[in-house]
């Protein structure tokens, strides 16, 4: 597998009913090239957001997403091919990892929160592209600047293989660290939500105890007052 190239990710918020629209609009936002792309955004209640990723034939698209915050920690996920075919559909899932072999065209993936009428969701996703078709050109560029390999008793292919191996491991380390940060953010949001719930119900219990105590004192007072009235 060749070195990875940072995808050009086009962000587009689609209105409901425009699910079959596959061509990105002119002037859409574009990410700068890198090994991979990750993005965190807030999806309001009752809304759907879609993203486009141009791909080449016989390349690989890997997508991982997680719902970091929001009631239920769930979202609907769709992945469509350039022909409009549904490749992946996750219903009310909190996370997912999907890898597809691609063809030429723009792939569309959507996060759908239309089933929720109150709660917004915070969603993290990461894209990793492989075999984007420029490996051979990179090796030719290296050969232009390396001379005298016979005298140094070394092979350019061995150097490239070692560099690519180190590059792949570094990229994998960055990916794992990014995912760990996403897990930490989701766990922190869950703990903060539990903390708020504990405080809320503690205050409710305290209020109930105060009311019950007041009622008991009143009832005891009324019993003694009734006895004094009956004796007179």
CATH fold of 32-133: Jelly Rolls (2.60.120)
CA distance 224 to 226: 5
143 or 111, which is more confident: 111
Higher pLDDT, 190 or 44: 44
65 — pLDDT class (breaks 50, 70, 90): very high
Give the pLDDT of residue 106.
Answer: 92
Q: Average of pLDDT values for 131-153?
A: 54
Rounded Cα–Cα distance for residues 226 and 231 (Å): 9
Q: Is the pLDDT of residue 1 over 70?
A: no
Calpha distance 79→77 (Å, rounded): 7
Residue 144's pLDDT is 56
- Whether the Cβ atoms of residue 103 and residue 12 lie closer than 8 Å to each other: no
Higher pLDDT, 12 or 163: 163
Buried b (16+ CB within 10 A) or exposed e, 136-161: eeeeeeeeeeeeeeeeeeeeeeeebe
Phi, psi of 139 (to 5 degrees): -70, -40
User: What tokens does 21 get?
Assistant: 């629209």
Distance, CA of 167 to CA of 178 (rounded, Å): 17
Site of tokens 């022909």: 83
88/157: higher pLDDT: 88
pLDDT tens per residue, range 101-114: 999 999 999 999 99
Which of 44-48, 123-127, 157-161, 164-168 is predicted least confidently? 157-161
* Helical residues (DSSP H) of 59-115, grouped into ranges: none
Task: Tell me what pLDDT residue 216 has.
Answer: 87
Mean pLDDT of 199-215: 90
**Residue-averaged pLDDT of the chain:** 75
Say if residue 99's pLDDT is above 70: yes
**The model's pTM:** 0.55
149-187 pLDDT, tens per residue? 454 555 667 777 778 778 777 877 777 787 777 778 778
Residues 6+ apart with CB under 8 A from 30: 8, 9, 10
pLDDT at 120 over 60: yes
How far is the C-alpha of 65 from the C-alpha of 175, rounded, in Å? 13
Q: Where are the domains of the chain?
A: 32-133, 162-203
Residue with the larger pLDDT of the pair 13 and 168? 168
pLDDT (0 to 100) of residue 69: 87
> Which residues pair with residue 53 across a beta bridge?
107
pLDDT for the residue numbered 49: 93
Mean pLDDT to the nearest integer, 44-49: 93
Q: Locate the DSSP E strands across the chain.
A: 10-12, 36-43, 48-55, 60-69, 75-80, 86-93, 95-101, 105-112, 121-130
């Amino acid at each position: 597998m060749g070195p990875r190239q940072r995808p050009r990710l086009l962000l587009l918020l689609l209105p409901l009913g425009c699910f079959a629209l596959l061509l990105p609009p002119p002037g859409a936002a574009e990410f700068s090239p890198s090994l991979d792309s990750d993005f965190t955004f807030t999806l309001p209640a009752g809304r759907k957001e879609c993203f486009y990723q141009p791909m080449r034939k016989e390349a690989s698209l890997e997508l991982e997403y997680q719902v970091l915050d929001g009631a239920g920690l769930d979202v609907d996920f769709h992945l469509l091919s350039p022909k409009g075919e549904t490749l992946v559909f996750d219903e009310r899932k909190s996370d997912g990892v999907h890898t597809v072999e691609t063809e030429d065209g723009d792939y569309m993936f959507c996060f759908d929160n239309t089933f929720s009428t109150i709660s917004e969701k915070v969603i993290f996703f990461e894209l990793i592209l492989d075999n984007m078709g420029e490996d051979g050109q990179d090796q030719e560029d290296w050969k232009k600047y390396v001379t005298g390999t016979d005298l140094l008793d070394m092979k350019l292919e061995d150097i490239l293989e070692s560099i690519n191996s180190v590059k792949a491991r570094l990229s994998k380390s960055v990916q794992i660290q990014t995912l760990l940060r996403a897990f930490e953010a989701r766990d922190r949001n869950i703990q903060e939500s539990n903390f708020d719930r504990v405080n809320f119900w503690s205050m409710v219990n305290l209020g109930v105890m105060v009311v019950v105590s007041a009622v008991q004192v009143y009832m005891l007072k009324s019993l003694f007052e009734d006895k004094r009235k009956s004796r007179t």
